[in-house]
Amino acid sequence: MKLFRLTLAALAAGAVVILPASPALAAPAFKLPFRCGEVWSGQTRTNHSPANAIDFNRTDDVGDPVVASAPGTVSLVRDLGGASYGRYVVIDHGSGYSTLYAHLQSWTVSVGDRLEYGTRIGYVGTTGGSTGPHLHYEQRLNGSAIRVYFDGGQALYWGTKNYTSTNECGANLYSPQMVCGSGYNVVNKAGIVSGGVSYGKVYLLYNSGNGYNCTATIKHRSVGTPSSTSTYLEPQGSTRTTDSGSYSWYAGPVKRSAPGVCVRWGGSVNGVAYNSGWTNCG
């Protein structure tokens, strides 16, 4: 209030008052769009389109997984055929920031999917105007390509440099939407936690097109290694359906119709469990 009164007094005296600018929204902490520990050669060049984009290569890279370089929501999945980006995906990270992954062999996500660090989005290819297998990668602000940053440091401009990925070592390559399939959206979720350690997360999804619920447990521990994992779904007044086994990445999907009733849902990883009460009624 004191600053406000001084500003009014200054204005009354005819002074020009310069107020501090609003702080810029921070960019996401971007990581390489590849699995933890992988080494990729990244090239920037002045005649690239757009110039701030970076191309990634390594030996025999066709079909290698491409992963989300920061948490976000898939905003675009498109195939331009034999031109331009070919098959590409755009992820919206909020605050005007997005990333683009182009020339993909194929994708594994859909528009609206919520992704975390290290979630697989597709595979390296040579579609579109590409003359050889590689990943064309962009970081954008308000739709325009900006200079690329990884792990807090700017990529080399201009030239070629090897980069080692630190993208969520041990991250899960799957999202709950990948497990449940097209049309399913997350409506509830809960961590599977013990002693402050996250063993996984269980998700409840709903498909408004067919009226079905779906559950999936995504592992955070022993990722990529078979271990005890489960998920279940129980409509009120009906039996419980469970999927359990020694799974490397996730348990599920478990799909049930539950018109007009509540559901109970949950899951476990390595003996640590989450069990909901009656939720999402109707």
How far apart CA 176 and CA 89 sit, in angstroms, is 18
Residues 224-275 have pLDDT tens digits of: 899 999 999 999 999 999 999 999 999 999 999 999 999 999 999 999 999 9
28 DSSP β-pair partners: none
50 is written with which tokens? 């757009």
Q: Same CATH fold, 176-275 and 39-164?
A: no
User: CATH assignment of 176-275?
Assistant: 2.60.40
Q: Which pTM value belongs to this model? A: 0.72
Q: DSSP secondary-structure letter at 9?
A: H
Least confident of 48-52, 116-120, 151-155, 241-245: 116-120
How far apart CA 160 and CA 55 sit, in angstroms, is 9
What pLDDT was estimated at residue 196? 84
What pLDDT was estimated at residue 84? 97
Tell me: pLDDT of 163 over 60.
yes
Domain spans, the chain: 39-164, 176-275
CATH 2.70.70.10 is the classification of domain 39-164: yes
Check if the beta carbon of residue 88 is closer than 8 Å to that of residue 80.
yes
Percent of the chain at pLDDT above 90? 80
Kind plus residue range of the DSSP H or E element containing 74:
strand 72-79
Percent of the chain at pLDDT above 70? 91
Question: Average per-residue pLDDT in the chain?
Answer: 90
